[in-house]
Amino acid sequence: MQSDFLFAKPFKAVFPYPTRTPWVRAMPFVVMITGIPGVGKSTITRLALKRTRAKFRLVNFGDLMFEEAVKAGLVKHRDEMRKLDPKTQRELQLKAAQKIVEIAREEPVLLDTHATIKTPVGYLLGFPREVIEVINPNFIVIIEATPSEILGRRLRDLKRDRDVETEEQIERHQDLNRAAAISYAMHSNALVKIIENHEDKGLEEAVNELVQVLDLAVSEYD
Amino acid sequence: MQSDFLFAKPFKAVFPYPTRTPWVRAMPFVVMITGIPGVGKSTITRLALKRTRAKFRLVNFGDLMFEEAVKAGLVKHRDEMRKLDPKTQRELQLKAAQKIVEIAREEPVLLDTHATIKTPVGYLLGFPREVIEVINPNFIVIIEATPSEILGRRLRDLKRDRDVETEEQIERHQDLNRAAAISYAMHSNALVKIIENHEDKGLEEAVNELVQVLDLAVSEYD
Amino acid sequence: MQSDFLFAKPFKAVFPYPTRTPWVRAMPFVVMITGIPGVGKSTITRLALKRTRAKFRLVNFGDLMFEEAVKAGLVKHRDEMRKLDPKTQRELQLKAAQKIVEIAREEPVLLDTHATIKTPVGYLLGFPREVIEVINPNFIVIIEATPSEILGRRLRDLKRDRDVETEEQIERHQDLNRAAAISYAMHSNALVKIIENHEDKGLEEAVNELVQVLDLAVSEYD
């Protein structure tokens, strides 16, 4: 496997690269974290942020869009956001993206968001081409679990007002998210990191994998 | 899930959006409908067109390319189409795309086509980047069924001269079509709508889902 | 299926196209061959090259990048490659891509490479947008096998220092490679050819499928 030289022993060494960053560009440093409801994204994110050596700013993409909309005098309440026409929404996405780049100049950003958004009339890409090009994330992390694990967690989590999906639909949504992540990587310099959050594997390992990615930011902000 | 604000209760409300349509741009309105042989695309399309409140023009992409080729004096018979060199075919695709945009200025278009085309030497993308950018569809609909359902329908439908594929090959083709749809969405404003046409679920539900998408055109052409 | 006219009987005729090749552009002629470790890519490639009527030059993308790095005085040994910063690596990828186009003007090129590369911190796209646009391959071939077949081959092949993956991880890597191939096709004129290399099917058939693709180059270099 001569062409494997770049990563000769991928899983042997946890991080055998020089401190001044292979495959992570200089600042800004942005990690997008995605995952469908029920994979455990919030829990993993919270635990990883406590443990990472790099001090990350956690930003929610939807919150940022809302802030930009309020600033522009377009809305007062969150509920009004989805009544905005798509052109306006696209502009808000771009403004939020620019804001992220601004923040990331000062400190590493962990961007809590979705790869695709399931709406009643279809899947919407979370990051259209021009938006992902502005953000240019270093990593797109997808938290995944098996459809049956996800379904189980959703059923135990009744207070959150989630729609009931079949395992087939859950699998499909995760498939589409992977394809979306590849498309986003095509329009940025991002690596796609998939973290499995399985019941038997333990949350610990999933958190560690995220910490490993986040810690790559350490050398970037001296 | 603060970032979920855009679609707070995705499956509770069938269509809780203002009439002037978020996420569907102003005219033209184009819905691409795709699906591999045996999923029931023709049947669903025919029934949905009878029921939709918006009066759609059904356009077959291959037909349109053929018409453009005849106009240009390149071919007389359909069989000659595939003997054209790829550069010429690409130009015909672009011409057909421009024609669609023209038609869609007058009335909503339902574009009957394929996400990818299986040829003896590989899968061909139905809509190269520059072609999808011209069409800029509002929706890319994929009709799907399970590989065994598709195989069953193909076997019952012997008069149509179809190649025999394994369930594995059918599954793979559907996988590639989803990835292609995501790539198309990346180069347009389209939402990706996947409609399952399962035996036990009944055709009715599949047709209703398509009608729901098509009816979004109503407010666009006053 | 009127829109099927392009490929009316896809699997009936092995290659019913005019000699001057529809859907393969004029020279240069480049076939990318990819597949994760354990699918049998090296074996199939070696056997196909012996049998094809077109005389192909086998090029390893990693080798080419290394040569360009040596020429530029950046490294002396292969191990130093991965210590280069990402910007430099990207430039080397582009130089290697240009070199391929140069070679392909003289003779057809079979490019041995990876669709995505699994690193400890995520999947890296083998061909970022600007690189695939330069190479503009005619075909992206993916050799595939079932996860259990791949795992079996890896276990029997102990001398090669491979990481141990689960079947789930193998399946996911193949999924991502398909999505990557579709993205590459979106940014080139490539057809995506998936060749299954199953135990029960026999190597012979897989080799034949590759030969069929390679033989399309015959008419291109007269």
CATH code where residue B187 lies: 3.40.50.300
CA of A153 vs chain C CAs: smallest distance (Å): 21
Instruction: List the 74-133 stretch of B: residues with Cβ below 8 A of C.
Output: 78-79, 81-87, 89-90, 112-114, 116-125, 128-129
What is the distance, to the nearest Å, from the Cα of residue B46 to the centroid of all Cα atoms in its chain? 14
pLDDT score for C82: 79
Nearest CA in chain C to B179: C179
Query: Could you tell me if residue C151 is inside a domain?
Result: yes
Interface of B with C in 55-74 (CB under 8 A): 60-63, 66
Per-residue pLDDT, B220:
61
Nearest to B129 among C3, C14, C186 (CB): C186
The answer, yes or no, to whether residue A34 has pLDDT greater than 90, is yes
By C-alpha distance, the chain B residue nearest C178 is B176
Contact B155, B205 (CB under 8 A): no
Residue of C121, C124, C160, C170 to mutate for A, most A C-beta atoms under 10 A: C121
pLDDT digits (tens, 9 = 90+) for B101-142: 999 999 999 999 999 999 889 999 999 999 999 999 999 999
pLDDT exceeds 70 at position C61:
yes
State the CB neighbour count (10 A cutoff) for residue C91: 17
CB count, 10 Å around CB of C33? 26
Q: What is the CA radius of gyration of chain B?
A: 18
**Which site among B84, B121, B164 would you substitute to test the C interface, given the most C Cβ atoms closer than 10 Å to its Cβ?**
B121
A138 to chain B, any CB pair closer than 8 A? The answer is: no
Question: What does DSSP assign to residue C91?
Answer: H
**Residue B79 in domain:** no
User: Side-chain half-sphere of B29: how many Cα atoms within 13 Å?
Assistant: 23
How close are the terminal C-alpha atoms of chain B, in Å?
Answer: 37
Touching chains, C (3+ CB pairs < 8 A): A, B
Rounded Cα–Cα distance for residues B62 and B113 (Å): 7
Q: Which residue has the tokens 């081959």?
A: C153
Report the chain A residue with the minimal C-alpha distance to residue B191: A124
Residue B201 gets which letter from DSSP? T
Q: What percent of chain B has pLDDT over 90?
A: 68
- A23 pLDDT above the threshold of 50: no
Q: Which residue carries 């399931």 as its tokens? A: A118
pLDDT for the residue numbered A66: 95
* Residues in chain B closer than 8 A to A129 (CB atoms): 186-187
CB atoms within 10 A of CB C97: 25
Distance CA A24, CA A21 (A): 5
Question: Does residue A100 fall inside a structural domain?
Answer: no
CA distance B94 to chain A (A): 21
Which span out of A23-32, C7-16, C208-217 was modeled with the highest average pLDDT?
Answer: C208-217
Contact A101/A64 with Cβ under 8 angstroms? Answer: no
Kindly report the average pLDDT of chain A as a whole number: 85
Are A121 and B182 in contact (CB < 8 Å)? no
Q: List pLDDT tens digits, range B136-190.
A: 999 999 999 999 999 999 888 766 555 689 999 999 999 999 999 999 999 998 9
What integer is the mean pLDDT of A126-138?
A: 94
Instruction: Name the token pair of A143.
Output: 């938290």
Q: Tell me the β-bridge partners of C123.
A: A192, C118
Convert the pLDDT of each residue in A76-130 to its tens digit: 999 898 788 878 888 999 999 999 999 999 999 999 999 999 988 999 999 999 9
> Is residue A96 included in any domain, yes or no?
no
Whether pLDDT at B20 is above 50:
no
In the three-class reduction of DSSP (H, G, I as helix; E, B as strand; rest coil), residue C186 is classed as helix
With CB atoms and an 8 Å threshold, state whether B13 touches A120.
Answer: yes
At C143-171, the pLDDT tens digits run: 999 999 999 998 887 665 556 899 999 99
Give contacts of A160 with chain B, Cβ < 8 Å. Answer: 1
Residue A32 lies inside a defined structural domain of this protein: yes
Q: Which residue of B has its CA nearest to A180?
A: B182
Question: What pLDDT score was predicted for residue B99?
Answer: 96
**Residue-number span of the structural domain to which B41 is assigned:** 4-14+26-59+108-220
The answer on pLDDT for A38 being more than 90 is yes
From chain C, the residues in CB contact with A8 under 8 A are: 79, 82, 161
**Mean per-residue pLDDT over chain B, rounded:** 85
Phi and psi based region of residue C33 (left: phi greater than 0; alpha: psi -120 to 50; beta: remaining)? beta
Number of H helices, E strands in chain C: 7, 7
Within a domain: C73: no
Of C113, C123, C179, the CB nearest to A3: C113
Q: Which among A11, A23, A183 has CB closest to C86?
A: A23
The answer to whether C17 faces chain B, any CB pair under 8 Å, is yes
Inter-residue contact A187 to A133 (CB < 8 Å):
yes
CA distance A181 to A134: 16
Residue B45 predicted with pLDDT over 60: yes
For helices C167-186 and A167-186, the axis angle rounded to 10 degrees is 50
User: What is the widest separation between alpha-carbon atoms in chain C?
Assistant: 58
C46 close contact with A: CB closer than 8 A: no
Q: Is the pLDDT of residue B218 over 90?
A: no
- Position C106 pLDDT exceeds 50: yes
- Tell whether C206 is covered by a domain: yes
Q: Which of A4, A186, A194 sits opposite C183 (nearest CB)?
A: A186
Q: Report the side by side order of strands in the sheet with A139-144.
A: A57-60, A109-112, A30-34, A139-144, A191-196, C122-125, C116-119
B159 occurs within a structural domain: yes
Give contacts of A176 with chain B, Cβ < 8 Å.
178, 182, 192
The domain total for chain C is 1
Other Cβ atoms closer than 10 A to B148: 12
pLDDT, one tens digit per residue, over A165-222 is 999 999 999 999 999 999 999 999 899 999 999 988 789 999 999 999 999 987 665 4
DSSP-based three-state secondary structure for C148: helix
For B81, which residue in chain C has the nearest alpha carbon?
C6
Predicted confidence (pLDDT) at residue C215 exceeds the cutoff of 80: yes
Reported as a pLDDT band with limits 50, 70 and 90, residue A157 is confident
Entry pTM: 0.87
